[in-house]
C-alpha cells in the first residue's frame, strides 16, 4: 500500500477530503503523515482528529529554503512516503525537494492550467472574463504550475459569481478530483511520457 504525505499551510479542506477518501476505500493508500509550516494550521488538527501523525515544522528553525526542504525530505524518508501531496502548502519547493521525489509530488491548482497559473487563479479567471474555469491536478516540476497535467475538471462561471462563490464551487470539484488522482497513483495507473500523463489500465 502506498504511503502518502500531505503538506498543508491552512484550513486543510483538501486534506479532509483525502482522509475521508482513504477511510471509505476510494484511495488505495494511507496517509502516513501531515506536515505544516504553520503551527496553528487547522490541517494539523484535522489529521490528529483522524489519528494521523501531524507535524509542525517551523521554517524559522532552518537556515534557508533548501535546509528546510532537506529536513522535510528526511522526515518523509523516515516515514517511508511514496507520494507527496500539496494541499494549500504556501511555500515553493526547491529543486532539491522536487528531485528527491520525481513524478511523486502532486499539486492541485484552481484553474484549467496552463491558464491562470500562480497566485489568485480564481480571481485571474474572473477578471479575464472567461466563461469556464476549473481545477487541475498536476505533478510538480521545477516551474510554477508547469508539471504534467494528471486530471482536470471544468467549472462554469456564472454572471453573478464573486471570487468567493466561484472558489466554493471549484473547491467542491477539487475535493472530488484530488482523491481520484491520488488513487490512480496508488494503483500505479499513471504513466508520464514527455508532458503527457496517461491513465493506463
Residues with catalytic roles: 109
Q: Of the candidates 52, 49, 93, 50, which has an alpha carbon nearest to the alpha carbon of residue 73?
A: 93
Q: Of the candidates 101, 100, 135, 96, which has an alpha carbon nearest to the alpha carbon of residue 115?
A: 135
Q: Kindly report the three-state secondary structure assignment for every residue of 160-179.
A: CCCHHHHHHHHHHHHHHHHH
Q: For the chain, report the end-to-end CA distance as a whole number of angstroms.
A: 18
CA–CA dist 126, 164 (Å, integer): 11
Quickly tell me which residue has 479542506 as its cell.
13
Looking at 35-162, list the stretches that DSSP marks H as alpha helix, in order from N- to C-terminal side.
42-49, 65-78, 95-100, 121-128
- Residue 162 near residue 83, CB atoms below 8 Å: no
Radius of gyration of the chain measured on its C-alpha atoms: 16
Amino acid at each position: 500500500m502506498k504511503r502518502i504525505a500531505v503538506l498543508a499551510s491552512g484550513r486543510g479542506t483538501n486534506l479532509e477530503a483525502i482522509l475521508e477518501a482513504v477511510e471509505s476505500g476510494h484511495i488505495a493508500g494511507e496517509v502516513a503523515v501531515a506536515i505544516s509550516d504553520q503551527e496553528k494550521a487547522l490541517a494539523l488538527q484535522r489529521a490528529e482528529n483522524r489519528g494521523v501523525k501531524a507535524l509542525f515544522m517551523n521554517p524559522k528553525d532552518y537556515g534557508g529554503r533548501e535546509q528546510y526542504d532537506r529536513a522535510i525530505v528526511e522526515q518523509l524518508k523516515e516515514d517511508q512516503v511514496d507520494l507527496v501531496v500539496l494541499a494549500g502548502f504556501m511555500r515553493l519547493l526547491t529543486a532539491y525537494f522536487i528531485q528527491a521525489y520525481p513524478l511523486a509530488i502532486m499539486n492541485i491548482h484552481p484553474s484549467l492550467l496552463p491558464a491562470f497559473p500562480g497566485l489568485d487563479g480564481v480571481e485571474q479567471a474572473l477578471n479575464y472574463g472567461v466563461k469556464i474555469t476549473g481545477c487541475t491536478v498536476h505533478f510538480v516540476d521545477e516551474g510554477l504550475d508547469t508539471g504534467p497535467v494528471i486530471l482536470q475538471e471544468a467549472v462554469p462561471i456564472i454572471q453573478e459569481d464573486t471570487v468567493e462563490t466561484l472558489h466554493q464551487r471549484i473547491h467542491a470539484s477539487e475535493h472530488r478530483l484530488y482523491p481520484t488522482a491520488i488513487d490512480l497513483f496508488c494503483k500505479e495507473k499513471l504513466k508520464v511520457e514527455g508532458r503527457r500523463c496517461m491513465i493506463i489500465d
